[in-house]
Amino acid sequence: MAMEVAPLHRESSSSGSINKHLTDDGKYVRYTAEQVEALERVYAECPKPSSLRRQQLIRECPILANIEPKQIKVWFQNRRCREKQRKESSRLQTVNRKLTAMNKLLMEENDRLQKQVSQLVCENGFMRQQLQTAPTATDASCDSVVATPQHSLRDANNPAGLLSIAEETLSEFLAKATGTALEWVQMPGMKPGPDSIGIFSISQRCGGVAARACGLVSLEPKKIAEILKDRSSWFRDCRNLEVFTMFPAGNAGTIELVYSQIYAPTTLAPARDMWTLRYTTSLENGSLVVCERSLSGYGAGPNAAAAAQFVRAEMLPSGYLIRPCEGGSIIHIVDHLNLQAWSVPEVLRPLYESSKAVAQKMTIAALRYVRQVAHETSGEVVYGLGRQPAVLRTFNQRLSRGFNDAINGFNDDGWSLMNADGAEDVIIAVNSTKNLIGANNSAHSLSFLGGILCAKASMLLQNVHPAVLVCFLREHHAEWADFSVDAYSAALWKAGSYAYPGMRPMRFTGSQITMPLGHTIEQEELLEVIRLEGHSFAQEDAFVSQDIHLLQICSGIDENAVGACSELVFAPIDEMFPDDAPLLPSGFRIIPLESKAKDTQEVLTTNCTLDLTSSLEAGLSINHAAVDGSSCHSLRSVLTIAFQFPFESNLQDNVATMARQYVRSVISSVQRVAMAISPSGLSPVLGPKLSAGSPEALTLAHWICQSHSYHLGAELLRSDSAGGDSVLKHLWHHPDAILCCSLKSLPVFIFANQAGLDMLETTLVALQDITLDKIFNESGRQALYTEFAKLMQQGFACLPAGICMSTMGRNVSYEQAVAWKVLSAEENAVHCIAFSFVNWSFL
């Protein structure tokens, strides 16, 4: 046997052995070109053929008849190995190129910082000298210099004057992008490194708000410039961008006069607009520049009637510097704006004075979008339901745009207020023009509708993290929504369903199925279809499916993203999910507010989580909890809610009353959820559905372990980890899936360790919506029913090997399941039932 194995081993380890095979006399013979071609054809279809398939291959291909099946097997092994090495080599070359480019960026950043330090040292020395030698006389020449304007007025309608403005804009922009014109500091929570998407900075001491980004993208400079100039495709708050005039400039460049409109993020502030000059040119080193600045002296936008709904913002020299490099381009992005914070209520001014918010919404978003397009172009991104990336991006844009239109309610879109006295907490707006659907298919014109009604409101939240709240709203639709209202809107919105006879009583079964469609590279934005299973109480509808399908986008779910707003936007959609489906978006937007500048540590301590890991990492130290609690209490955010409802012409008043009541109900539910998930004193928060009598995490962990030892006579944990606070930590990291369910007529899970959450593919909050019978198949349920009496009588039961199911529908096998009663220490009463699934794995 050793003599037979050794040659095979030598062949598999030889670099050139893939084109050779071993004959009966022990000699290596090179494969012919025809043999290699035949093997390659099979490899393209199946890289790892079975033994039967290899024998079939020998029978079907006479040219392979003189080769042993073992040699065929070795050829495929070597072929797979070579393919793996090729992919790994390509990956390492890509990583090397990225690291080289990042190293270049870091060296340039280091040089810039050294120049900035030198400049500050000089300024400091000059100030010291001025303080030591006070002036004794006033220099008249200095007064004349100060009084003289730095720049003479130019005629903006003159191409020569525009070119002068453009060259000045270019110079100032380059000084910000690569020089020391602004004092840049690192963006909190965005440290540069090999795994980061770039280098991000903000300026705290500048006129207005400013942010900067540098990164590597595997696209050509011209393609990147084309993408970034189309601001409405990646900047979700850009309502409109029109180019009114274009002049040719030197170096094959262009000068454009651009009018832009920017959505207001809440109902409490007006939208912004800008007139800007945009200059595109090439530098001597081959770099491509797109720079932009505001033009003063221009009047209202193209639609003078809508000008009252906008406040004129100012763009200081900003833009994009795109430098070609090996494998793509290096991008420098600068956004410098004056958003006129004086025009918004005082509570919102921190948002309009925050460079972090501008960095998240514009600068970082631009770089992420370009990287996303690069990954899609390379074919590295896989999407669900066979949809092309461009189609899914269009859905994202339409959802965001429709939601922003609903919040702003522009007159030129046909919106008008029903209650314009300002006394109502919920604003009702009506659009009867029916031109906001955005679908290209005339079959979805919905001419039967009287119009669209929008109910919207904004409120202040405290002591809750936006990302945590949005994640809860995403995972628990039934906690805040009325299924009957959703069903009515969804049915009326479908083309041809205008005969739907009003709102019928419905109930939500509790089943919420999520079908992922796609996500961005950093997982900061998710696109998915949600199916809500429902049943009608009416007997005539008992056999008709009442399920609701929602197209949903969720963004801002990273708790460590400083200054990022969190959104959950959704729209009813037909179950066939056509590409041109009409959308009527509704949703939530939560924007964090900062009352003062905070360093990175202060910001990160506001991350409040529902997971048990927060208790495990933080411990139960009173001092630590007090610090976390105080920082969380300083967190404020603005919640904006907008829900849209279609209505028939004769039901406008009825739908308006229903919409107002519904939004008030949603606000009440969100407030209740926010209170449940916010930190409460020093106690760790495990979830909003745990009753007041439920034990805390540490107590429950002790009960589980003590009951296991009492009933089974064996320790669940090692003896050295059975004391103090370490019980919870070791139980959380136990390799077996440990779950606890309540003792009710319909048992639901109340606790799971990390392995249990992984097995069910859920979170600690969503766990509490899962019933015990949902995870077992038919044989598993029968085994549980058979052993249940034994479990209640003797305190434990052992279930044989079987199969259960995760919340995502995947089958999970386990070698054994042990169930035991968990007794409370004080009353010696049964608190819950614990299960331990041993050696589980996905099938």
Report the 3 state secondary structure along 123-160: HHHHHHHHHHCCCCCCCHHHHHHHHCCCCCCCCCCCHH
Which residue in 268, 345, 234, 236 sits closest to 567, CA to CA? Answer: 236
Say which range, 38-52, 362-376, 528-542, has the weakest mean pLDDT: 528-542
What region does 153 belong to: left with phi over 0, alpha with psi -120 to 50, or beta? beta
> How confident is the model over 146-199, as pLDDT tens digits?
333 333 334 455 667 788 899 999 999 999 988 778 888 888 776 665 556 788
Residue 269, φ and ψ in degrees, nearest 5: -140, 150
What is the pLDDT, as a whole number, of residue 438? Answer: 44
Cα→Cα distances 96→327, 436, 521, 552, Å: 10, 48, 20, 38
Q: Are 498 and 638 in contact (CB under 8 A)?
A: no
* Separation of alpha carbons 676 and 690, rounded Å: 10
What is the pLDDT, as a whole number, of residue 3? Answer: 36
In single-letter form, the type of residue at position 815 comes to: E
In single-letter form, the type of residue at position 191 comes to: K
Q: How confident is the model at residue 672 (pLDDT cuts 50, 70, 90)?
A: confident
- Residue 565 scores a pLDDT above 50: yes
Q: Are 331 and 322 in contact (CB under 8 A)?
A: yes
Quote the tokens at residue 326. Answer: 């090996």
Reduce the secondary structure of 557-569 to three states and give it as a string: CCCCCCCCCEEEE
Q: How confident is the model at residue 493 (pLDDT cuts 50, 70, 90)?
A: low
Q: How confident is the model at residue 297 (pLDDT cuts 50, 70, 90)?
A: low
- pLDDT (mean) for 712-741: 80
* Separation of alpha carbons 171 and 321, rounded Å: 12
Q: Residues 341, 592, 234, CA angle at the centre, nearest 5°?
A: 80
Say which range, 136-150, 153-167, 549-563, has the weakest mean pLDDT: 136-150
* Separation of alpha carbons 592 and 601, rounded Å: 17
* Separation of alpha carbons 580 and 549, rounded Å: 16
The larger pLDDT score, comparing residue 74 to residue 722, is at 74
* Separation of alpha carbons 57 and 66, rounded Å: 12
What is the pLDDT, as a whole number, of residue 84? Answer: 87
What is the pLDDT, as a whole number, of residue 352? Answer: 92
Q: Are 254 and 266 in contact (CB under 8 A)?
A: no
Number of other CB atoms surrounding residue 488 within 10 Å: 20
What is the pLDDT, as a whole number, of residue 746? Answer: 78
> Exposed/middle/buried for 114, CB within 10 Å: 0-12, 13-18, 19+?
exposed
Per-chain mean pLDDT for the chain: 76
For residue 52, the SS3 value is helix
> Exposed/middle/buried for 604, CB within 10 Å: 0-12, 13-18, 19+?
middle
The larger pLDDT score, comparing residue 628 to residue 646, is at 646
* Separation of alpha carbons 332 and 173, rounded Å: 10
- Residue 839 scores a pLDDT above 60: yes
* Separation of alpha carbons 202 and 73, rounded Å: 58
Q: Residues 440, 445, 449, CA angle at the centre, nearest 5°?
A: 150
Residue 493, φ and ψ in degrees, nearest 5: -75, -25
- pLDDT (mean) for 781-789: 83
Number of other CB atoms surrounding residue 691 within 10 Å: 7
Q: State the residue for tokens 């043999």.
A: 35
What is the pLDDT, as a whole number, of residue 616? Answer: 38
Say which range, 367-371, 533-537, 708-712, has the weakest mean pLDDT: 533-537
What is the pLDDT, as a whole number, of residue 220? Answer: 92
Rg over alpha carbons for the chain, rounded to the nearest Å, is 32
- pLDDT (mean) for 652-664: 89
For residue 678, the SS3 value is coil
Out of 88-102, 114-128, 338-352, 421-435, the most confident range is: 338-352
Quote the tokens at residue 825. Answer: 């220490």
Number of other CB atoms surrounding residue 422 within 10 Å: 7
- Residue 524 scores a pLDDT above 80: no
- Residue 440 scores a pLDDT above 50: no
* Separation of alpha carbons 732 and 674, rounded Å: 26
For residue 428, the SS3 value is strand
Q: How confident is the model at residue 683 (pLDDT cuts 50, 70, 90)?
A: very low
* Separation of alpha carbons 538 and 549, rounded Å: 21
* Separation of alpha carbons 223 and 273, rounded Å: 27
* Separation of alpha carbons 283 and 290, rounded Å: 11
The partner residues of 255 in beta bridges, in order of sequence, read 247, 279
Buried b (16+ CB within 10 A) or exposed e, 446-470: beebbbbbbbbbbbebebbbbbbbb
Say which range, 216-220, 277-281, 480-484, 527-531, has the weakest mean pLDDT: 480-484
Say which range, 238-252, 331-345, 776-790, has the weakest mean pLDDT: 776-790
Say which range, 432-436, 467-471, 617-621, 744-748, has the weakest mean pLDDT: 617-621
Please state, for a pLDDT cut of 70, what percent of the chain lies above it. Answer: 72
> How confident is the model over 746-765, as pLDDT tens digits?
788 888 888 888 888 877 76
* Separation of alpha carbons 380 and 809, rounded Å: 26
For residue 524, the SS3 value is coil
What is the pLDDT, as a whole number, of residue 737? Answer: 93
The larger pLDDT score, comparing residue 629 to residue 418, is at 418
Quote the tokens at residue 416. Answer: 């008008």
What is the pLDDT, as a whole number, of residue 536? Answer: 53
What is the pLDDT, as a whole number, of residue 132? Answer: 65
Q: State the residue for tokens 């035991």.
A: 820
The larger pLDDT score, comparing residue 397 to residue 204, is at 397
- Residue 129 scores a pLDDT above 80: no
Alpha helices in 14-68 (DSSP H): 33-45, 51-60
Positive or negative, the CA dihedral 675, 681, 686, 690 is negative
Q: To the nearest 10°, report the CA torsion of 754, 758, 763, 766.
A: -120
Q: Are 595 and 642 in contact (CB under 8 A)?
A: no
- pLDDT (mean) for 41-48: 85
